[in-house]
A and B are shown apart, each in its own frame.
Chain A
Amino acid sequence: MAYALNVNGIRHTVDVDGDTPLLWVLRDVLGMTGTKFGCGMALCGACTVHLNGAPIRSCVTTVESVGSGAITTIEAIGNTAAGRKIQRAWLDLEVVQCGYCQSGQIMSASALLASNAHPDDSAIDDAMSGNICRCGTYLRIREAIKHAAKLPAASGKEG
C-alpha cells in the first residue's frame, strides 16, 4: 500500500509493503543513497537517520511505523545547527577514512550534540558505541564531537 513519508521536509509517497525497512525505501525507492546498509540488524549504526530528531536505525524501522514523523537523513543534516557543526568538525579533524560508516556516525553525533551541548567521554561512548567503524576512526570521532561543541553556531555554512 502507499505510505506518505516526510523526508528532509519533502513529502514522498511510496508504494511498498508496510514492513519494508525505511532504509530500503530511502536508498532504493527514493534514490537517497547517503544512508548506508551495514548489518540489517541494528548492530552497526551505518543506517542511522533521525525520526523527529532522535537517532533511529532505519534498517529495522518499518515504513509503516514511521507515520508522518519528520525523517532527517545525512543529505539534509547540514541544515541543522548541530549537524553543520559536526560536519565541519569531521573535516577539521580529518576524521574520515573509507567513509562508509560516517553518514551513520554523523547522524548519531548530531543527535547527541543537539541534545547535549557539551558531551563528556561517557556521554559520547553511550551515544556512539552503536556505530561501528572498521577503519577505526573512533578516537578522532570523539575529539571531533568535542571540537564541534566548541564551534560557534554560524560556523560551517558550506558544510
Chain B
Amino acid sequence: MTLDKLGPVAQGPDHEPATGVSRRAFLKAGVASGGFVLGFGLPAFLNGGTRAAPARFEPNAFIRIGSDGSVTLTMPQVEMGQGTYTSMPMLIAEELEIPLSQVRLEHAPPDTKRYGNPLIAGDQITGGSTSIRAFWEPMRRAGATARVMLIGAAAKRWKVDPSACHAERGEVIHKGSGRRIKYGALAGDAAQMPVPEKVELKRLDEFKLIGTPAKRLDTPAKVNGKVVYGIDARPAGLKIATLAQSPVFGGRLKSVDDSAARAVKGVRQIVRLDDAVAVVADHMGAAKKGLATLVLEWDNGPNAALTTGDIARELENGTLGGGAVAQDVGDVGKAIAGAATKVDAIYHVPFLAHATMEPMNCTVHVRKDGCEIWVGTQVIARAQATAAKTTGLPLDKVVAHNHLLGGGFGRRLEIDGVTRAVQIAMQVDGPVKVIWSREEDIQHDMYRPYFVDRMSAGLDEAGMPVAWSHRFAGSSIIARFLPPGFNNGLDPDTTDGAINLPYALPNVRVEYLRIEPPGIPTAFWRSVGPSHNVFVVETFMDELAAAAKKDPVDYRLALLDKSPRAKSVLQLAAQKAGWGQPLPSRSGRGVSMQFVFGTYMAQVAQVEVSKDGEVRVQRVVCAVDCGTVVNPDTVRAQVQSAVIFGISAALFGEITLKGGRVEQTNFDTYRVLRMSEVPAIEVHIIQSREAPGGMGEPGTSAVVPAVMNAIFAATGKRLRKSAGVDPAELKVA
C-alpha cells in the first residue's frame, strides 16, 4: 500500500489539503540562509511532491540528491532532544562536502535492513547513547561514497582524472581548468557510476565541520509552534480518545456504566477492552469529561495487595543467595577473610517513571485492508510490527509515520502504547488519536526497575580495597526486550557499570540474580544499566574511602594508575570544583567517576542541606572525555540535560506501589526539578582523538552518586537509596 492510495495525509481546519507538497508534508524550518526543510512523511510521499521524476542520485539509504540540487538525508536515529538530527547530518556533510544549511531531513520509515542500529543487534532502535558510536563510521562512509561518485561523474564528463578534482560546498571542482559543477547537475550521471567498494575517510585533522559547535537543524520549527510531534498528527476525520487502564497491573475491567458519558457533548463512543476503557470524542476536552463520568468496576486480580515494600523484601532476600557470575577475578572470599577491615552495605534503587513532556499517545486508522499509524517512537519498526500483529494485517499493509519525539528517555523504546491505541482503533470507524492523561502516563509507565544490591569489601591495613563483592537482584529488561541478549542468567545492560571497573581491584566478584517482580512492568530509563550500577559502585567507593578515613578523590585516584583517561577526568573535575576548599556547615561536595557508554566522566556535586533536611544542589562540575567530539555544544547541552534529569530522580523521583497501584499521579506527586531549583552546571571537555563515546546518558548516572556523596559530606548521613530523598532523614535533630 502506498500513501497515494491512502489519500491525503492530513487535513485540518487550518491546513490546506495534502495535495502536492503541503505544509503537513514539509515543515519550513526557516533557517535564513538555506531553506532547510524537515521532511515529515514517508520518502514515497515526498517523492510524490516532485512529480517530474527527475534524475536522482541515491547511493545509499541515507542520501538522496535530486537534479534540482536538493540534498535529502534520511535519519536512521530519531530526534528526541539529544541532537542526533544535527550530529548525523554533520557526519554525512563532513565527507559529502555540503553546507549543513542546505540539507533536508526525513524520518526513516520502518526498515530494519536499511536503518538498523549496528550496536543494538541491527534492530531499528535509538537508545543506549549509541547513535554516534554506531553511525560514526557508516555515516561518514555514506557521505564519502556519494562524494567519490559525484567526483567520478564530473571527471568523466570533463574527461579528466578524478584525482585532479575535488568537492567543496556542494560542487565538484577541477582545479586545473577552474571548471565547477553543482551536485544537482551531476545527479543523473552519478547514479550511473559504480559504487566504490572502498573509500578513504578524512583524517581527524582534516575535519572542517566535526568538532565545531554547529547550530541545531531541528530547532527553528520548535520555537514557533510549527513542529509536529506524534501528538500533533491530525489526519482527516480524526477523533480523540483518552483511556483508563486497570489501576492495578494485571487487573480486568468488570463493568462500565457509561450513561452519563454518552450524554456529554462531543462524546462519540465508549470502547471496552479486557483491561481498559476508552472514551472517543470530537476533542480531548469531551473525551476527558466523558471518562471522568464513567462508573468503572475493576477486578484487581492477583496484584491487588502488592506494595513496593513487598518487592524490595523479595529482592533483598534474593541477594542472600548466589547469582549468575558476571565477573570473577582472583578469590574474593579468601581476600575478604584476610582483610584488615570489612565494609558491608545494602543499597536500594527504586522504580522510576519517565514522565516525558509529551504524554504517551498514538494515532491509528484501521481499515479492513490496512492500517496507518502516527507516533513518535524510538522503535518505528517495532511500532509497525505490533500494529500488524494486533490487527492481524500483513506487515506491508501497515504504514507507520514517525515524528519528532517530545522526550524519550527510554519510554518510547516500548510499544505498549501503540498496541493499546491499535486495540482501541480497531473498534473505531476512522482515525483516532489516543492520548494518555498525565495520570495514566505516570501510573501506566514501564518503570526503571527496582534493584537491591549487597556490597562487601575487604580493605588492607592502609585502607585500600583488596576485595570487592557486588551481588544484586532485579529485573532484566534485555531478557524481555532483546531475548537473545540474555544468556546464562546475564545480559550486557544489567551489569553495565558494575563489571570491568576502571579501578584496580585485585579480587572482584559480581553476581546478578534475575528476579522479575510481579505486578509492575519495567523498561529502560535514561542511563539504563549504569543508572543503577554507577550509583551503587560510586556510593560504595565513597563508603570505603570514609572507612579508610581518606579523601574520596585521592582514594579513587590511587586506584586509577592503569586508567589514565579516568584519572584525567577525575583530576579535572576535582580541580575545577575547588575540591578540598572549605564550605559552610551543612554544605558538602561529593564526587563520582565512571566509564560507561564509551565515555569517561567525573562529576563533583555541591549541596546544601537545610535544617529541615531539604537538599539543594548548588553546583555540578563535570569533566568528560567522550573521545572525538562531533558537536561540542551538544555535549554540553546533554550534560546539562542529563544532570538535571538525574537530580530530579535523586531528590524526588521514587515511584511506589500501594494496593497494587502506583501512588504518584502527576507533577505534584512525581516532582521534577524546576527553574528555581537548578544548580549551576559546568562542563569541561577533554580534547581527545579516541573513538567517540555516547553522550545522551552518562551525565545522569554520574550525578546521582555525586549528589548522595555530597549529602554525606554535608550531613554525615549516608543515604543508600538512589531516588527520593526523605528530608526527615536529614533533619537537624
Q: Which residues of A approach B to under 8 Å, CB–CB?
A: 16-17, 19-21, 23-25, 27-41, 43-44, 46, 73-75, 78, 87, 90-91, 94-103, 106, 124-126, 128-142, 158-159
Given contacts A41-B668, A125-B675, A158-B30, contact A97 B223 (CB under 8 A): no
- Which of B81, B288, B644 lies in contact with A99, CB distance below 8 A? B81
In the complex the two chains form, is B438's CB within 8 Å of A29's CB?
Answer: no
Q: Which residue of B lies closest to A24 (CB)?
A: B285
* B407 CB-CB contact with A under 8 Å: yes
* Contact partners of B285 in chain A: CB under 8 A: 16-17, 20-21, 23-25, 28
Q: Show 30 A/B contacts (Cβ-Cβ < 8 Å), sorted by A.
A: A17-B285, A20-B283, A23-B285, A24-B286, A25-B285, A28-B282, A30-B13, A40-B437, A41-B668, A91-B219, A95-B219, A96-B219, A96-B222, A98-B404, A98-B407, A99-B227, A100-B356, A100-B358, A101-B357, A102-B223, A106-B223, A125-B676, A128-B675, A131-B675, A132-B674, A133-B357, A135-B645, A136-B643, A139-B640, A159-B223
* Contact partners of A137 in chain B: CB under 8 A: 637, 640-641
* Contact partners of B633 in chain A: CB under 8 A: 94
* Contact partners of B227 in chain A: CB under 8 A: 99
- Which of A35, A38, A134 lies in contact with B438, CB distance below 8 A? A38
Given contacts A32-B14, A33-B234, contact A90 B223 (CB under 8 A): yes
In the complex the two chains form, is B667's CB within 8 Å of A33's CB?
Answer: no
Instruction: Report how far A34 CA is from B32 CA in the complex, Å.
Output: 21
In the complex the two chains form, is B224's CB within 8 Å of A43's CB?
Answer: no
Nearest-neighbour CB distance to chain A for B161, whole angstroms, equals: 43
* B55 CB-CB contact with A under 8 Å: no
Q: Kindly name the residue among A35, A96, A128, A140 whose own CB sees the greatest number of chain B CB atoms within 10 A.
A: A96
Nearest-neighbour CB distance to chain A for B177, whole angstroms, equals: 39
Given contacts A32-B14, A38-B359, contact A99 B222 (CB under 8 A): yes
In the complex the two chains form, is A132's CB within 8 Å of B357's CB?
Answer: yes
Instruction: Report how far A93 CA is from B71 CA in the complex, Å.
Output: 27
In the complex the two chains form, is B224's CB within 8 Å of A35's CB?
Answer: no
Instruction: Report how far A123 CA is from B1 CA in the complex, Å.
Output: 55
* B284 CB-CB contact with A under 8 Å: yes
In the complex the two chains form, is B637's CB within 8 Å of A91's CB?
Answer: no
Instruction: Report how far A28 CA is from B363 CA in the complex, Å.
Output: 13
In the complex the two chains form, is A99's CB within 8 Å of B359's CB?
Answer: no
In the complex the two chains form, is B240's CB within 8 Å of A28's CB?
Answer: yes
In the complex the two chains form, is A31's CB within 8 Å of B14's CB?
Answer: yes
Q: Which B residues from 60 to 94 make CB contacts under 8 A with A?
A: 79-83
* Contact partners of B12 in chain A: CB under 8 A: 31
Count class of interface residues, chain B:
35 or more
* Contact partners of B288 in chain A: CB under 8 A: 24, 40
In the complex the two chains form, is A91's CB within 8 Å of B283's CB?
Answer: no
* Contact partners of A73 in chain B: CB under 8 A: 225
* Contact partners of B517 in chain A: CB under 8 A: none
* Contact partners of B83 in chain A: CB under 8 A: 97
* Contact partners of B357 in chain A: CB under 8 A: 36, 38, 44, 46, 98, 100-101, 132-135
Nearest-neighbour CB distance to chain A for B281, whole angstroms, equals: 9
In the complex the two chains form, is B407's CB within 8 Å of A39's CB?
Answer: no
Q: Which residue of A lies closest to B221 (CB)?
A: A99
Instruction: Report how far A91 CA is from B30 CA in the complex, Å.
Output: 11
Instruction: Report how far A20 CA is from B32 CA in the complex, Å.
Output: 39
Given contacts A99-B81, A100-B229, contact A34 B224 (CB under 8 A): yes
* Contact partners of A34 in chain B: CB under 8 A: 224-226
* B202 CB-CB contact with A under 8 Å: no
Q: Which B residues from 673 to 687 make CB contacts under 8 A with A?
A: 673-676, 678, 680-681
Q: Which residues of B approach A to under 8 Å, CB–CB?
A: 12-15, 30, 32, 79-83, 215-216, 218-220, 222-229, 231-232, 234, 240, 264-266, 282-286, 288-289, 355-359, 404-409, 435, 437-438, 633, 637, 640-645, 666-668, 672-676, 678, 680-681
Given contacts A41-B438, A43-B668, A97-B81, contact A135 B223 (CB under 8 A): no
Instruction: Report how far A74 CA is from B668 CA in the complex, Å.
Output: 26
In the complex the two chains form, is B673's CB within 8 Å of A136's CB?
Answer: yes
Q: Which residue of B lies closest to A141 (CB)?
A: B675
Q: Which residue of A lies closest to B643 (CB)?
A: A136
Instruction: Report how far A148 CA is from B438 CA in the complex, Å.
Output: 32
Instruction: Report how far A140 CA is from B224 CA in the complex, Å.
Output: 18
* Contact partners of B437 in chain A: CB under 8 A: 40
- Which of B14, B81, B435, B680 lies in contact with A30, CB distance below 8 A? B14
* Contact partners of A39 in chain B: CB under 8 A: 438, 666-667
Taking A34-B225, A99-B223, A140-B640 as known contacts, 7 extra A-B pairs with beta carbons closer than 8 A to each other, sorted by chain A number, are A17-B289, A20-B286, A75-B224, A96-B222, A99-B222, A136-B640, A137-B641
* Contact partners of A96 in chain B: CB under 8 A: 216, 218-219, 222-223
Q: Which residue of B lies closest to A1 (CB)?
A: B265
In the complex the two chains form, is B219's CB within 8 Å of A98's CB?
Answer: no
In the complex the two chains form, is B668's CB within 8 Å of A87's CB?
Answer: no
* Contact partners of A38 in chain B: CB under 8 A: 357, 359, 438
Q: Which residue of B lies closest to A18 (CB)?
A: B265
* Contact partners of B438 in chain A: CB under 8 A: 38-41, 44
Nearest-neighbour CB distance to chain B for A144, whole angstroms, equals: 10
Q: Which residue of A lies closest to B631 (CB)?
A: A94
Instruction: Report how far A61 CA is from B222 CA in the complex, Å.
Output: 24
In the complex the two chains form, is B641's CB within 8 Å of A17's CB?
Answer: no
* Contact partners of A100 in chain B: CB under 8 A: 229, 356-358, 406-407
* Contact partners of A134 in chain B: CB under 8 A: 355-357, 407, 409, 645, 672
Nearest-neighbour CB distance to chain A for B84, whole angstroms, equals: 11
* Contact partners of A37 in chain B: CB under 8 A: 231, 284, 359, 435
Q: Which residue of A lies closest to B213 (CB)?
A: A94
In the complex the two chains form, is A132's CB within 8 Å of B224's CB?
Answer: no
Nearest-neighbour CB distance to chain A for B621, whole angstroms, equals: 14
In the complex the two chains form, is B228's CB within 8 Å of A33's CB?
Answer: yes
Given contacts A36-B358, A98-B405, contact A44 B667 (CB under 8 A): yes
* Contact partners of A133 in chain B: CB under 8 A: 357
In the complex the two chains form, is A103's CB within 8 Å of B640's CB?
Answer: no
Nearest-neighbour CB distance to chain A for B729, whole angstroms, equals: 26
* Contact partners of A43 in chain B: CB under 8 A: 666-668
* Contact partners of B231 in chain A: CB under 8 A: 33, 36-37
Nearest-neighbour CB distance to chain B for A14, whole angstroms, equals: 9
Nearest-neighbour CB distance to chain B for A63, whole angstroms, equals: 8
Instruction: Report how far A28 CA is from B14 CA in the complex, Å.
Output: 11
* Contact partners of A98 in chain B: CB under 8 A: 79-81, 356-358, 404-408
* Contact partners of B32 in chain A: CB under 8 A: 158
Instruction: Report how far A125 CA is from B673 CA in the complex, Å.
Output: 12
Instruction: Report how far A16 CA is from B285 CA in the complex, Å.
Output: 9
In the complex the two chains form, is B358's CB within 8 Å of A87's CB?
Answer: no
* Contact partners of B226 in chain A: CB under 8 A: 34, 75
Q: Which residue of A lies closest to B674 (CB)?
A: A129
* Contact partners of A20 in chain B: CB under 8 A: 283, 285-286, 289
Instruction: Report how far A35 CA is from B680 CA in the complex, Å.
Output: 30
In the complex the two chains form, is B645's CB within 8 Å of A74's CB?
Answer: no
In the complex the two chains form, is B407's CB within 8 Å of A135's CB?
Answer: yes
* Contact partners of A46 in chain B: CB under 8 A: 357
In the complex the two chains form, is B283's CB within 8 Å of A19's CB?
Answer: no
Instruction: Report how far A125 CA is from B675 CA in the complex, Å.
Output: 6
- Which of A41, A99, A158 lies in contact with B219, CB distance below 8 A? A99
Given contacts A39-B666, A98-B80, contact A135 B404 (CB under 8 A): no
Nearest-neighbour CB distance to chain A for B139, whole angstroms, equals: 21
* Contact partners of B640 in chain A: CB under 8 A: 136-137, 139-140
Instruction: Report how far A59 CA is from B462 CA in the complex, Å.
Output: 61
Instruction: Report how far A91 CA is from B221 CA in the complex, Å.
Output: 10
Instruction: Report how far A97 CA is from B14 CA in the complex, Å.
Output: 27
* Contact partners of A126 in chain B: CB under 8 A: 676
Q: Which residue of A lies closest to B438 (CB)?
A: A39
Instruction: Report how far A39 CA is from B438 CA in the complex, Å.
Output: 5
Q: Which residue of B lies closest to A128 (CB)?
A: B675
